[in-house]
Amino acid sequence: MNLKHDVRAVARQFQICGEIRSAEPYGSGHINDTYCVVFDQAGTCVRYIFQRINHLVFKNPVALMENIARVTRHLGGEFAGAGDASRRSLTLVFARDGNPSYQDAAGNHWRVYLFIEQARTYDAVESPGQAFEAAKAFGLFQKVLANLPAPRLHDTIPDFHHTPKRFLALERAVAADAFNRALLAKPEIEFAQQHESITSVLLDANLPERVTHNDTKFNNVMLDDTTGEGICVIDLDTVMPGLALYDFGDMVRTTTSPAKEDERDLSKVKMQFPMFEALVRGYLSTAGSFLTKEEKQLLAFSGKLITFEIGLRFLTDYLNGDTYFKVHRDGHNLDRCRTQFKLVESIENQEESMNELIESIAFSGPPVTELAEELR
Ligand code: ADP
Ligand code: GN1
Ligand code: MG
pLDDT digits (tens, 9 = 90+) for 313-354: 999 999 999 999 999 999 999 999 999 999 999 999 999 999
Tell how far the Cα of 359 is from the centroid of ligand 2, in angstroms. Answer: 30
Q: How confident is the model at residue 149 (pLDDT cuts 50, 70, 90)?
A: very high
3-state secondary structure of 44: strand
List, by residue range, all CATH 3.30.200.20 domains of the chain: 7-117
Atom of ligand 1 nearest to the CA of 91: 23
pLDDT tens figures, 27-54: 988 999 999 999 999 999 999 999 999 9
CA 167 to each of CA 18, 250, 302, 308: distance values in angstroms, whole numbers, following the listed order: 50, 17, 16, 10
Q: Which helix (H) or strand (E) holds 19?
A: strand 19-25
Class of domain 128-375: alpha beta
- Cα 249 to averaged position of ligand 1 atoms, centre (Å): 21
181-215 pLDDT, tens digit each? 999 999 999 999 999 999 999 999 999 999 999 99
Q: How far is the CA of 326 from the centre of ligand 1 (A)?
A: 15
The three-class DSSP label of residue 276 is helix
CATH tag, 7-117: 3.30.200.20
pLDDT digits (tens, 9 = 90+) for 235-286: 999 999 999 999 999 999 999 999 999 999 999 999 999 999 999 999 999 9
Q: For residue 132, what are the CA distances in angstroms to 11, 142, 149, 224, 357?
A: 37, 16, 29, 13, 15
Q: Which of the ligands is closest to the CA of residue 247?
A: 2
- Please choose from 53, 222, 310 the residue to mutate so as to test ligand 1's pocket, defined by most ligand atoms within 8 A of CB: 222
pLDDT (0 to 100) of residue 369: 56
Q: In the predicted model, what is the mean pLDDT of the chain? A: 96
The closest-lying atom of ligand 2 relative to the alpha carbon of residue 261 is 18
CA distances from 368 to 7, 279, 290, 363 (A): 46, 12, 14, 10
Substitution candidate for ligand 2 out of 215, 218, 257, 343 with most atoms within 8 A of CB: 215
d(CA 110, CA 160): 22
Share of the chain above pLDDT 70, in %: 97
pLDDT number for residue 12: 97
pLDDT band at 82 (very low <50, low <70, confident <90, very high): confident
Every domain range in the chain assigned CATH 3.90.1200.10? 128-375
Distance of CA 256 to the CA centre of its chain: 15
Q: HSE (CB half, 13 Å, CA atoms) of 150?
A: 1
- What was the pLDDT predicted at 374? 52
SS3 (DSSP) at 148: coil
pLDDT at 179: 98
Task: Tell me: pLDDT of 373 over 60.
Answer: no
The closest-lying atom of ligand 1 relative to the alpha carbon of residue 235 is: 6
- What CA–CA distance (Å, rounded) separates 73 from 90? 9
Q: Which atom of ligand 2 lies closest to the CA of 58?
A: 11
- What pLDDT shows up at residue 252? 98
User: Which residues, 6 or more positions from 82, have their beta carbon under 8 angstroms from its beta carbon?
Assistant: 88
Distance CA(77)–CA(90), nearest Å, equals 12
